[in-house]
Amino acid sequence: MVNMDDISLCKANIAKEEYDAIKDVLDSGWLTHGPKTIEFEEMFANYIGVKHAIAMNSCTSALFLALLANDITGDVLVPSFTFVASANAIVTAGANPVFVDINYSDCNINPEELEKYLTPNTQAIMVVHFAGQVCEMDKISEFALRHNLVLIEDSAETIGGTLNGRKSGNWGIGCFSFFPTKNITTGEGGMLSTDNDEFAEKIRTLIGHGIRKTTIHREKSAVWHREASIPGYNFRLSNINAAIGVEQMKKLDYFNQQRNEHSSYLIDKLKNVEEIELPIPNENKYHVYQMFTIKVQKNRDRLVHGLRNKGIGASVHFDPPVHLQSAYLKYNVNSLPVTEKVSKEILTLPMFPQLTKQQLDRIINSLLKCLNHV
């Protein structure tokens, strides 16, 4: 049974604006892909700074189509330190994941490791921006360009995160998640970003059964004419979900600012605790703290359980890493010492915009008690 005083790991920020937007859509009668979906896409594209943003039912679908629409059937360089959806998209698209180690400091893919795994069969790189901090995209994008590799950004955890002012999803094909744990939510949902007109057209066709024109686009012509040009999928985002997304986009920068302020407070209060390693702010990056993670070199599991027993919704992201999961053992040919070390030390503390100072202090005090500091 849930204790109302418990502090959850994450909490979606849904207010009256979202409820009103849902009601408006329900009253309109246009429930599937429609005007709000288009509005959401335009807002998102402008925010990221790209020509096209294409809404769909999940980030996983976006990752899958980023590969499928580029005819990627060879090797894809990808970190193992990620949610399994990243690797699942590679395999289900008919390609082969090649797992690459990460940096210890930010848990992002190590660009210095990429050359090690490059072969004539390498066709793409899928980076994963971990917990709200952008990868070293200047180095990675240069590497991808030099070797003619498709660059895909799993930006599920880093909506609004930047490197030198440039947002995630702006270097390669951006893939975003609107799951309730993310910086904004639509319940379920995803987005793909790109500057390539032809590629965007193909993605729009693939998400709608291979039919380019949706019902709303056929309204002024032969509305009954539904001709598939390629075999496709039903990956569309509904008008209901998109209406939530439009309202969430209006608040995104504020949400990210709150996450930053909460994280700065935690870092300041915990900076002298020797047993833990805190996130390291980077002056060239804007970290949007989709998760607030620390590293604990000893007794991590016991600490997680101790915090949860005190009503603090602590968790672990990610253990085991993908290359040690049963479905992916056959792909486990690389030595990934940093990934395996981090997976045994990482611990995720609650982080969401609505956290109060009282709750932040409770998280801090509970952590110190579990570490036997008080």
Query: Catalytic residues, which ones?
Result: 182
Ordered DSSP codes for 147-189: TT-EEEEE-TT-TT-EETTEETTSSSEEEEE--TTSSS--SS-
Q: Nearest to residue 316, comparing CAs of 327, 302, 334, 326?
A: 302
CA distance 24 to 4: 32
Residues 103, 217: Cα–Cα separation, whole Å: 46
d(CA 39, CA 178): 16
What are the structure tokens assigned to 37, written together? 């979906």
Any idea how long the chain is?
A: 374
Cis peptide leading into residue 318 (ω within 30°): yes
Q: Are 362 and 126 in contact (CB under 8 A)?
A: no
- 269 burial type by CB count under 10 A (0-12 exposed, 13-18 middle, 19+ buried): middle
d(CA 110, CA 134): 12
